[in-house]
Amino acid sequence: MSNPSMASSAAVTGSSSPLLRGFIRWSITFILVVVAVVALYPLAFTFVNSLKTRADFAGNALGLPTGLTFENYVQTFGRMNVPQLLFNTTITTAGGLFLSTVAALFVAYAVTKLQLKGGNWVFLFIISMLVIPSQVVIYPLYETILNLGLGGTYQGLILSYAAFGLPISTYMLVAFFRAIPDELVEAARIDGASELRIMFQLMLPISTPALAAISILNFVWMWNDLLLPLVIMGGSEKTTLMVGVALLSGQYDVSIPLISAGLIVALLPVLVVYFLFQRQILSGALAGAIK
């Protein structure tokens, strides 16, 4: 990335007169602000509604609440078992993320640094599985999971997540490993390091940028996915937060303030992750990797 601190040197609008330039910059800022409002308003609207009482919302759907109430949050926790759902989502996302990353790491190492015979074919085979989206195979996938005795279990969902995250993880790690000079690995071999040690103690640490990008991409879709947990877990004890929210919103007697509170609860963990890892997510680690 070009140095972002060189404030306007990369600007394309450099050569006009100062007055015109000022006008252009104000117009640009104005457009950007309008789009930012469009991007953020739905969240603000939902948050504000979650703090209203039913009566307050009925009389004043669009304005600020007349008084704050946390009743909706209390009710959300009463109607769905938030800690359990959160636990389910966390364990399945973490499991899927971990399995997918480890399997991709193994493939990437074997294909790029062990010069596995037919390695390019293995690589092509795995990334070509990208053309099979879960929507297309959802029922046979469910049947297969049932046949394996994994229906309604964490393992069933974790393995599905891992498989559907694998093509992109493998691609990213293989592309990253290709850029690491073979001499580095050779040197470690000459020093007598075993292959597994080279993989975990040499390649793994230098792959942090690629691992970060994979984790972000996979975290976002696994955490947020609806179809796989909906079909594999249904409305069971082990279902995920997103299925829980979808089912809550389908109950006939929920008020809008109540469902708003449910939505805020569902998106809060992702917001926290976003604020914590904002720099890694936005600095191009993600976008650079999906070029």
Partner 1 sequence: MIETSSPVDRPRSRPGKRREPGGLLGIALVVPAIVLVVVFKLIPLVRAFILSLYETQGFADPTFAWFRNYQGMLKDPTFWGSFRNAALVFLTLPVWIMLPLLLALLIFQRVPGWKLFRAAYFLPYMIAPVVVGIMFRQILAPDGPLNAMLIGIGLAPFATEWLNGSSSALFSLTAVALWAFFGLGVLTYLSGLSTVSDEVIEAARLDGAGFWTLLVYIIAPLLKSVIGYWTVLCTSSMLIWMFPLIYALTRGGPGKATMLPEYLVFLTTFEFLDRGRGAAIGMALFVFAAAISAFVVRRMYAEGKGRT
Region 79-118 residues binding partner 1, contact defined as CB under 8 A:
99, 102-104, 106-107, 109-112, 114-118
Interface mask (CB under 8 A) for partner 1, residues 18-37, using x and -?
-------x--xx-xxx-xx-
Instruction: Kindly tell me which residue out of 132, 146, 187, 276 binds partner 1, with binding defined by CB under 8 A.
Output: 132
User: What are the residues whose beta carbons fall under 8 Å from the beta carbon of 278, sequence distance 6 or more?
Assistant: none
Q: Give SS3 for 280.
A: helix
Pull the structure tokens for residue 242. 């997103």
Q: Is the dihedral of CA 152, 153, 156, 159 positive or negative?
A: positive
Q: Rank residues 97 and 107 by Cβ distance to partner 1 and give the closer one.
A: 107
Q: Rank residues 19 and 62 by Cβ distance to partner 1 and give the closer one.
A: 62
Cα dist. 59→62, 63, 85, 193, 271 in Å? 9, 10, 33, 72, 30
Neighbours of 39 (CB within 10 A): 9
Contact segment (CB under 8 A) with partner 1 among 65-73, 80-88, 203-211, 216-224 equals 216-224
DSSP 221: H
The residue count for binding partner 1 (CB under 8 A) is 120
Q: Rank residues 118 and 235 by Cβ distance to partner 1 and give the closer one.
A: 118
Interface mask (CB under 8 A) for partner 1, residues 243-272, using x and -?
--xx--x------x--xx--x--xx--xx-
Which string of b and e fits 56-88 if b means at least 16 CB within 10 Å? Answer: bbeeeeeeebeeebeebbebbeebbebeebbeb
Interface mask (CB under 8 A) for partner 1, residues 151-180, using x and -?
--------xx-xxx-xx--xx--xx--x--
Restricted to residues 34-73, the positions that interact with partner 1 (CB under 8 A) are 35-36, 38-43, 45-46, 49, 61-62
Distance CA 176, CA 171 (A): 8
Instruction: Kindly tell me which residue out of 83, 139, 181, 253 binds partner 1, with binding defined by CB under 8 A.
Output: 139
Q: Rank residues 16 and 201 by Cβ distance to partner 1 and give the closer one.
A: 16
Torsion of CA 136, 138, 140, 142, to 10 degrees: 170
Instruction: Kindly tell me which residue out of 190, 205, 252, 253 binds partner 1, with binding defined by CB under 8 A.
Output: 190
Q: Rank residues 148 and 206 by Cβ distance to partner 1 and give the closer one.
A: 148
Contact segment (CB under 8 A) with partner 1 among 65-73, 78-86, 202-210, 280-288 equals 280-288
Q: Rank residues 74 and 287 by Cβ distance to partner 1 and give the closer one.
A: 287
User: What are the residues whose beta carbons fall under 8 Å from the beta carbon of 283, sequence distance 6 or more?
Assistant: 1
Instruction: Kindly tell me which residue out of 91, 94, 98, 119 binds partner 1, with binding defined by CB under 8 A.
Output: 119
Instruction: Kindly tell me which residue out of 70, 186, 201, 276 binds partner 1, with binding defined by CB under 8 A.
Output: 186
Contact in structure between 159 and 150 (CB atoms under 8 Å): yes
Q: Where are the alpha helices (DSSP H) in 113-207?
A: 119-128, 134-147, 154-178, 182-190, 195-197, 204-206
Is residue 130 near partner 1 by the rule CB under 8 A?
Answer: yes
Q: Give SS3 for 163.
A: helix
Give the containing element (helix H, strand E) for 58: helix 54-59
Is residue 212 near partner 1 by the rule CB under 8 A?
Answer: no
